[in-house]
Amino acid sequence: YTVEFTLDFSRMKKMGVPEKVTPKEIKLISNGGEAVLSLDPATPRTKIKLKEDSWYSAEVWGSIYEKENCLIALTAPLYTKGETI
């Protein structure tokens, strides 16, 4: 399967938030907090085989107001039930 992550900061612009958020890494996290994939936000599309009966979520890491290694965003988890996808 192909997974693709889309980063959209347009809502922040509409709210008047200064453009001081810089995404640097997208991580796919599995059970127990293990990073199973790391992507550059400039190329957020890849193929990966996900394990059955596992939880996954994505995290976006980068800088905020020049402070490095900040968690910028995360997704709700998804569960792969009964089959490898």
Beta carbons within 8 Å of 63's beta carbon, 6+ residues apart: 21, 22, 24, 69, 70
Q: How many CB atoms lie within 10 A of CB 66?
A: 7
Q: What 3-state class would DSSP assign to 76? A: coil
pLDDT in tens, the chain (85 residues): 567 788 777 777 787 777 788 889 999 999 889 999 999 888 878 888 888 888 999 999 999 988 999 998 899 998 888 765 5
What's the pTM?
0.80
Q: How many CB atoms lie within 10 A of CB 26?
A: 23
Tally of residues, the chain: 85
Q: Per residue in 44-64, pLDDT tens?
A: 788 888 888 889 999 999 999
